[in-house]
Amino acid sequence: MNKRMVEFIRALRAAGVRISLAESLDAMRGVDAVGIEDRDQFRSTLKTTLVKEARDGEKFDYYFPLFFASQQPQMQDATQTMSPQDQQMLEQAMQALMGDKEALRQLLQQLLQGQPFDKDQLDQAGQQSGLDQASDMYQRPWFERRMQRSLNMQQIQQMIEELLQELQQMGMSRQQIQELREMLEQNADGLSEQVSQYVGASLAERMANREPEPKPDLLDVPFTRLSEEDMQHLRDEIRRLAARLRSRAALRQRRANAGTIDPRKMIRANMKYDSVPLELKYKTQHVKPSLVLICDVSTSMRYCAEFLLTLIYELQDQVAKTDSFIFISDIVDISMVFKEHQPMEAVEKVLTENRPGYYNTDLGNSMNTFKRDFMGRISSRTTVIILGDGRNNYNDPRIDIMSDVQRRSRRLLWFNPESPAQWGTGDSDMVQYAQNANGVYKVSNLRELAAAVDKILTDG
C-alpha cells in the first residue's frame, strides 16, 4: 500500500499539485493511524493531508479512483433469471445473429453473463491501440476510443438491438426482453467504465514513474503563455510580491526620513574649511510618486493590466495619489472602483465589466477623450504610465496628445510587453510613442513588471 500511495503522490505532483516531503510523510502517518478498511475514511485522510488549495481538490478526486478503486465493474448475469426455454431461444438467436463473427459473439456472451474483461484482454487491446506510447492524461479520451474499437465495443449497441429484435420475432415475452435490455445496457456501461479505468490508471502510473520535468518560475513565463491555472497561482503570489516591494519601499522611506548623510555634498560644501566637516549635508528626502495609469485591457494585454493594477493598488501606502484609466476603443475612468473595493476585487470587477472585443483597440481615440475630460488630472508632479503594446489597428495614434501629456507631467513612461524588435511592425505605432516618452519598460512577465514598478517607487 505504501508503494501505491507513493505512486499516487507522484502522479498528483506531475498533475501540478504542490506536495512537500513533509506532507507526504503526514499522509503516510495518517493512513497508518486510521487504516485502509474504511475507504471513505482512507480517502478523507489522504485529501486532508495532501490538498492545501481548493482548486487541487478536483485533481485529487480525479486521480484517487485511478489508484485505489476496484478494477472490476458491477455486472449481472442476465441468463440466471431466464427460464431454460428462454435460454435456449437466446442461444439460437445469437447463432443466427452472429454467424462466423466469433469476436462479436464472445463479447456479447460476456455481456449476457456479466463477465468483465480479464487482464489479458485489456493488455492486448491496450497494446493494439498504442497505449504504451501515451504520456499525458489529456490523451485519455482518445485512447479510450481506440481501445473500445479494438474490443469491438463501438458495435455493442447495434448488437443488442439486433439480438432483441431477433428474440422478439422468436416469441420471447416483452417483459423478458425489457429486463434483458436493461441488464445488457448496464453491463455494457460497466465494460466501458472498465476500459476507461484501465486507460486512466495506465496513464497515471506512467506519470508517477516519470521523472518530473523542471518547471520554469511562473514569474518568468511571458503573459501570453500563461494558462488559467498559471494565472491562479500568480494571483496567489502577487500579494507576497507586493509585500516584498512594500518592505523595500518602506526601508528607503525610513532612510530618507532619518536624514542619511550625503558624503559627496558634505565634502564639497566644506572645502572652504580645508575639507574639515563643519556643516553636515543630508540626502534629499524620498518623495512618494503621484501616478496616472492608462491601461490597455484588450485581449492581448488583460493579464498584464490585471497584475499592474493589482500591484499598484496593493502598494497605495507608497504612492501619494493614483488615478487609473482603462481603454480598448475608448477610455474609462476606474479610479472610484478602487476606492470602494479591495484591489483584487476591484480588478475583477473592472475586467468583468469591460470585456474585450475583436480588433477594436484605439489608443488615439482614447487619448482624445482623455484630453477632453481628464487632462486636469495631470500636474508637474505626476508620473504618467501607459500600459500597452502600441498597436492601434491603423487608427490615428494622436502623437500630438502624447506630446502634450509628456510636457504637462513630470514624466511619461511606457510599459510594453513587446521587445523593441517588434516595434513598428504591422499596426504598431510604438516607435513614434517611444519618441514622446521619457522611458519604456519591457514588461513581458511578472518579474519584469514588478521590477518596473519598484523602479518607479525608487526614484519617486
Strand, coil or helix: 324 = strand
Does 266 fall in a domain?
A: no
One domain for residues 195 and 291? no
> Looking at residue 84, what is its pLDDT?
72
One domain for residues 151 and 190? yes
From start to end of 204-299, where are the E strands?
290-296
Rg (CA), the chain: 34
Residue ending a domain, among 37, 68, 99, is 68
Residues of the chain under the 70 pLDDT cut: 1, 70-83, 85-105, 211-215, 249-261, 275, 277-278, 280-287, 358-359, 459-460
Cα–Cα distance list, 260 to 63, 252, 256, 257, 284 (Å): 59, 10, 6, 8, 9
Residue ending a domain, among 209, 244, 269, is 209
pLDDT digits (tens, 9 = 90+) for 409-431: 999 999 999 999 999 898 899 99
Does 342 fall in a domain?
A: yes
> Looking at residue 285, what is its pLDDT?
56
One domain for residues 313 and 433? yes
- In our burial notation (b when 16+ CB lie closer than 10 A, e otherwise), range 354-392 reads bebeeeebbbbbbbbebeeebeebbeeebbbbbbbbbbb
Q: Which domain holds residue 308?
A: 228-255+287-458
One domain for residues 242 and 104? no
AA letter at 420: P
> Looking at residue 277, what is its pLDDT?
67
Rounded CA-CA distance 80/77 in Å is 6
Residue whose cell numbers read 434483458: 180
One domain for residues 21 and 100? no
Rounded CA-CA distance 80/25 in Å is 49
Does 99 fall in a domain?
A: yes
One domain for residues 17 and 84? no
Rounded CA-CA distance 329/416 in Å is 18
Rounded CA-CA distance 119/109 in Å is 17
Does 156 fall in a domain?
A: yes
Half-sphere exposure of 388 (CA within 13 A, CB side): 32
What sections of 294-391 are H helices per DSSP?
302-314, 335-340, 343-353, 363-373
AA letter at 180: L
Residue 134 makes CB contacts below 8 A (sequence gap 6+) with 143, 202, 203, 206
Q: Which grid coordinates are listed for 396?
A: 490615428
Strand, coil or helix: 441 = strand
Does 274 fall in a domain?
A: no
What CATH number is associated with residue 339? 3.40.50.410
One domain for residues 148 and 242? no
The DSSP annotation for 350-376 comes to HHHHS---SS---HHHHHHHHHHHTGG
Does 223 fall in a domain?
A: no
One domain for residues 111 and 179? yes
One domain for residues 297 and 410? yes
DSSP-derived letter for residue 212 is P
AA letter at 272: K
Does 214 fall in a domain?
A: no
Does 217 fall in a domain?
A: no
pTM: 0.59
One domain for residues 449 and 397? yes
One domain for residues 179 and 232? no
> Looking at residue 198, what is its pLDDT?
87
Helix H, strand E, coil C: the string for 124-161 is HHHHHCCHHHCCCHHHHHHHHHHHHHHCCHHHHHHHHH
Domain count, the chain: 3
Angle at 126 between CA 180 and CA 198, to 5 degrees: 65
Q: Which grid coordinates are listed for 141?
A: 479520451
> Looking at residue 100, what is its pLDDT?
47
One domain for residues 82 and 169? yes
In this structure, the number of other CB atoms found within 10 A of the CB of residue 78 comes to 21
Residue ending a domain, among 179, 209, 239, is 209
pLDDT digits (tens, 9 = 90+) for 90-128: 666 666 655 545 656 677 777 777 778 888 888 888 888
